[in-house]
Amino acid sequence: MNETSQILVNRVASSGIVTINLEDYYPKSELVEFDMKDFLFKELILKELDFRKSMQELDWLKFKDKILCVYCSNNAIIPKWAFMLVARYAQDVVRDLIYGNKEKAVEILLETKLRMVDWSQFKDQKIVLKGCGDIEIPVSAYQTASYLLLPFANSIMYGEPCSTVPIFKKKKTL
């Protein structure tokens, strides 16, 4: 090697930055929407006897081991007991039951998983919450992860280690 040669250094790899990919916390089970309007008379009115019969006759096995997202996509007024009845029939079949559509269910499930993480493992670390990926991560997950990391991290950034947006940097104490 001559004197004019330079050694290439990967500054990203040597920066000590820890990347957290929120996709790792994304629900692994299939999410299936269960729209209550499909079981209403003219998609607006719940007739108790008809609703009970349709719940009893429904092939619940098609939801086996899935996360059932129960909601109503129109403005029908549905009594609380109707959602309870869905839970009764889904109980022995589904992996989990969430009130809301798929989007809301993903938010709830991510929030639950993120709150179970021991964030103290990132004490005094430079953290990047990975911004791009194969799965669309809701804004709420980034907000929650940031909130839970703040007491521990030296810094929090958003994006990729080679191109980040700074969010937080701990003030140095004397």
Q: Does 107 fall in a domain?
A: no
Task: Tell the residue number behind the tokens 């820890």, with chain if given.
Answer: 18
Nearest to 45 by CA among 76, 72, 70: 76
- Same domain as 76, residue 129: no
Q: Name the strands in the sheet holding 126-130, side by side, starting at the edge strand that comes first in the sequence.
A: 17-20, 126-130, 155-160, 163-169
> How many C-beta neighbours within 10 Å does residue 99 have?
14
Q: Which pLDDT belongs to residue 133?
A: 87
* Cα–Cα dist 23/3, whole Å: 46
Q: Note whether 121 and 137 are within 8 A (CB).
A: no
How many domains does one find in the chain? 2
Q: What is the CA radius of gyration of the chain?
A: 24
State pLDDT tens for residues 95-107: 999 999 999 999 9
State which residues form the domain around 42: 31-94
Q: Using alpha carbons, list the distances in angstroms from residue 73 to 32, 77, 84, 96.
A: 14, 11, 18, 20
Residues of the chain with pLDDT > 70, as a percent, come to 91
pLDDT band with cut points at 50, 70 and 90 for residue 108: very high
- Same domain as 80, residue 42: yes
Is the whole model's pTM more than 0.85, yes or no? Answer: no
Q: Does 43 fall in a domain?
A: yes
CA 117 to chain centre: 14
- Same domain as 45, residue 17: no
Q: Does 85 fall in a domain?
A: yes
- Same domain as 165, residue 118: yes
- Same domain as 146, residue 119: yes
- Same domain as 44, residue 19: no
pLDDT band with cut points at 50, 70 and 90 for residue 6: low
Q: What are phi and psi of 133, to 5 degrees?
A: -170, -165
pLDDT band with cut points at 50, 70 and 90 for residue 15: low
Q: Does 3 fall in a domain?
A: no
